Chains A and B, each alone.
Chain A
Amino acid sequence: MIDVVHDTEGVRMALEEIFEQDLVRSRIERESVGANEETRERMAFQIPPRTLSPGYYEFGLHLLRLDAEQKAGIGFTARDLAAFEVSGLLALARARSAFEGRHPACSACGARQLNRFGVECSGCGVKFRKRK
């Protein structure tokens, strides 16, 4: 039996999947403006499936809520958190860092790119400069 909150590697993997799903979902939302229901349903198949047991995602969402509160400036210290929440927040930082490395943000509009090799922004269309 695995206690989800203590399996930080599993939690990190679930968080990365959540980020990847959100990225695809937001791209679909952008691209499906004006599309009919059938097209939307077909596009939804592009969302990568979840591969882990649901408990990992639920705890991941709890960590995202904690993280959002911290980012909003709602003050609470490590003393207010359970040890497994502190480990979970560190796993969240690792997951986010890996995700952001795979999907750099456009310096013009901030939109995350599908990969690091695009020549123009998938959001605003600005051309990327090639590194010399």
Chain B
Amino acid sequence: MASIELATPRVIVIEERGKQYRLALARIVKKQWMRYFDGIVSTSENQMGKRVDSFDSSSARLELVETSLIDAQGYATADGSPITAAAGWQALLPLSHRLAVGNTIVSVERAEASNDEPIMLGVEAVYLNAVWSADENGVMQKYRGLCHRFKTPNGEQQRRFSRDSSRSRIVGGSRKAKTLWMGPQPTLVELYDELIVSVEGYQVNGVELGADHDTIVAEMDTYHKVAAADVLFSPAAANLSEDND
């Protein structure tokens, strides 16, 4: 199985009208992901007695993309200089391209376990599919069956998840107004670090992360941590696709 290389910059290739644009992103660190999660606006309100949910991560995603881009190729400038020479060049890229990059870096979804995977007692396996980076030929590759094995959560950890995923604020001055969900992502990252046992499909500088707990905690992409822990704690409700924003 091909592995995601976590240490090298991610290259996202966008094809438009027969032309290829290559955008490189520096490694997105935990602090940046936390800022992204903080910027997600997830709300719910009662309309005619029915709950209506809304979710918007596009602003946070654009900000994340703009702070992570380190190179762009395929674009022309008026004076022929490289686009990266211009101040604030990231924000000059077409909005559709920045959004496409944003969609790609959060392209992580739950995958089903393969039938030949044995059940391991005391360990719960979660599988993800994710788009990470383009290969040498500029083809975006989807990595399938990325495996995260966890210790079974205890009651305290389950309660902590339940508590933090139910936390919210009401905006608008009355109890009937809009609920703004605070989001359990920081808790999911903590729980991931506490429970992770081993992973498959991830490497750093060519070395598989395997079952080295400290290395997994230090090196695993924070978005993948959240995605995997979310499946672990809310298996029935897991829906990581953000395509429907």
* A residues whose Cβ falls under 8 Å from a Cβ of B: 1-5, 7, 10, 13, 49-56, 58-59, 61-62, 65-66, 69, 74, 76, 80, 82, 85
Does chain A have a CB within 8 A of B73? no
* Pairwise interchain contact B166-A54, C-beta atoms closer than 8 A: no
In the complex, chain A residues whose CB is within 8 Å of the CB of B180: 1, 55
In the complex formed, the residue of B with least CB distance to A57 is B51
Closest chain A CB from B49 CB (angstroms): 3
Cα A74 to Cα B158 in complex, Å, equals: 13
B51 and A7 contacting across the interface, CB-CB below 8 Å: no
Given A62-B162, A76-B155, decide whether A50 and B49 contact each other with a Cβ distance below 8 A: yes
Q: B176 near A53 (CB under 8 angstroms)? A: yes
B166 engages A58 (CB within 8 Å): yes
Contact between chains at B167 and A1 (CB < 8 Å): no
**Would B45 and A54 count as touching, CB distance under 8 A?**
yes
* Contact A80 to B46, CB < 8 A, known contacts A1-B171, A85-B163: no
Closest 9 CB pairs of A and B: A49-B49, A55-B168, A55-B179, A54-B44, A62-B166, A2-B170, A58-B166, A53-B179, A54-B179
- Additional A-B contact list (13), CB under 8 Å, known A1-B169, A66-B159: A4-B170, A51-B176, A53-B45, A54-B46, A55-B168, A55-B170, A55-B179, A55-B181, A58-B168, A65-B159, A65-B162, A80-B156, A85-B163
**In the complex the two chains form, what is the Cα distance from A53 to B46 in whole Å?**
6
Asked if B166 contacts A53 (CB within 8 A), the reply is no
Residues of chain B touching chain A, judged by Cβ–Cβ distance below 8 Å, are: 44-46, 48-49, 51, 155-156, 159, 162-163, 166-171, 175-181
Is there contact, CB below 8 Å, between B170 and A50?
no
Note all chain B residues with C-beta closer than 8 A to A2: 169-170, 175
Query: With A and B bound together, what is the CA distance between A13 and B177 in angstroms?
Result: 15
A85 to B160 CA separation, bound complex (whole angstroms)? 11
How many Å lie between the Cα of A85 and that of B166 in the bound state? Answer: 11
Given the known inter-chain contacts A62-B166, A65-B162, A76-B156, please indicate yes or no for A52 contacting B171, CB distance below 8 A.
no
Enumerate chain B residues within 8 angstroms of A66, measured Cβ to Cβ: 159, 162
Report chain B residues within 8 Å CB of A49. 46, 48-49
A-side contacts of B51, CB under 8 Å? 50, 54
CB-based contact B170/A53 at 8 Å = yes
Q: Which residue on A lies nearest to B49, using beta carbons?
A: A49
Find chain B residues with CB under 8 A from A65 CB: 159, 162
Contact A4 B155, beta carbon cutoff 8 Å: no
